Amino acid sequence: MEKENVVISVKDLYMSFGDLEVLKGVSMDIKKGEVVAILGPSGSGKTTFLRCINFLERAQKGTVNVSGLEVDCEEEGHAKKKKMIELRRKTAMVFQNYNLLSHRTLVENVMEGLVIVRKMDKKEAYRRSKEMLEKVGLGERLNYYPHMLSGGQKQRASIARALVLNPDVILFDEPTSALDPELVGEVLDTMRKIAEEGMTMIVVTHEIGFARNVASRIVFMDNGVIVEEGNPKDVIEHPQNPRTQKFLSKMGNK
């Protein structure tokens, strides 16, 4: 992988909660425009890995580099904190449960990061937020409150909130897991369109069809390590590792 095309480079990431080792030396390079789907059973470290990339969780050891800005997890002090804040600005995250503010309208939710964090003029922030909500098919619902929306619409609003920040990469943590089955498709379609436009994405998911059809690479994690990765067709149809085979068999793909 050519170094100049690498947007994210994670090296030897170790993370423990007390005596429980969650990540055991995970390394991964992700290049610009790549869509990486991370699969694996519950408790395998997928979400923790994602959260360590933008320091929602702090790994004890390893380095995280996003677009040339590197943070050493063992470093301490003000310098590290400053770099972490800068690194977070290069990423955006879409959570399982939307994280929308219930007392704000959709457009206000999307504007929040631009106004509060980026200190953008409210008029310009509104214009950009409206544009992003239209992009995800919610242009008619700018002034709706979250309780007036379906789960799929809330998640699409969360995607608009991530996109409006113009991040170098979007991190998706099981974005469809809280949705009723009939609403999953509209969110995956939105993600597919974003991927086709060249957005770099890391997606923790159990949606095997999405991983097969949209991802450029699949990474399978188990017990805090990467046990298999490669081309989606190869990994899903011809998994080499017994743990990958067992997981996909249970998911109905083998």
Alpha-carbon gap, residue 190 to 94, rounded angstroms: 13
Q: What's the pLDDT band for 176 if we cut at 50, 70, 90? A: very high
In this prediction, residues 175-203 reach a mean pLDDT of: 95
pLDDT level of residue 3 (50, 70, 90 thresholds): low
Q: Encode pLDDT of 55-89 as tens digits.
A: 999 999 999 999 999 999 999 998 889 999 999 99
Mean pLDDT to the nearest integer, 33-60: 96
**Could you give the CA distance from residue 65 to residue 82 in angstroms, rounded to a whole number?**
14
CA atoms within 13 A on the CB side of 176: 21
Q: Average per-residue pLDDT in the chain?
A: 94
Tell me the two tokens of residue 156.
């699409």
Q: Using an 8 Å Cβ cutoff, are 55 and 233 in contact?
A: no
- Residue 2 is predicted with a pLDDT of 52
For residue 158, the model assigns a pLDDT of 97
Threshold 0.85, pTM exceeds: yes
What is the DSSP code (8-state) at residue 241? S
Tell me the HSE value of 17 on the side-chain side, using a 13 A CA sphere: 8
